[in-house]
Amino acid sequence: MSKKIDKARLGEDRNISHVRFENSEKFTPIRKAIPMAERGEIEHIHVVRRCGRKYLRSNPDNRRDNNLLELAKR
């Protein structure tokens, strides 16, 4: 069963540092969420590599309200 991210946190570098899944009160560090996304365990999220680092990115769907950076603003 896949999980869905409902909130995100920005780190000091202004990148996503933690995510929270629906029905959870705890935030999961991005270093644990990336392997989950690579295994297909997170809905509507994929992993990209940029400048040698891996990042989570929401799948494109023409909506801004479910993008990870938008979820970090809430």
**Structure-model confidence comparison of residues 3 and 70, the more confident one:** 3
Q: Does the pLDDT at position 66 exceed 70?
A: no
pLDDT at residue 59 in the model: 86
For residues 60 and 52, give the distance between their C-alpha atoms in angstroms, rounded to a whole number: 22
Contact yes or no for 35/45 (Cβ under 8 A): no
Beta strand extents in the chain (DSSP E only): 5-10, 16-21, 27-29, 45-50, 53-58
Structural domains in the chain (count) = 1
DSSP code, position 59: P
At residue 67, the pLDDT reads: 78
CA-to-CA distance for 50 and 71, rounded, in angstroms? 21
Instruction: List the domain range (segments joined by +) for residue 47.
Output: 5-73
* pTM metric for this prediction: 0.85
Helix (H, G, I), strand (E, B) or coil at 7: strand
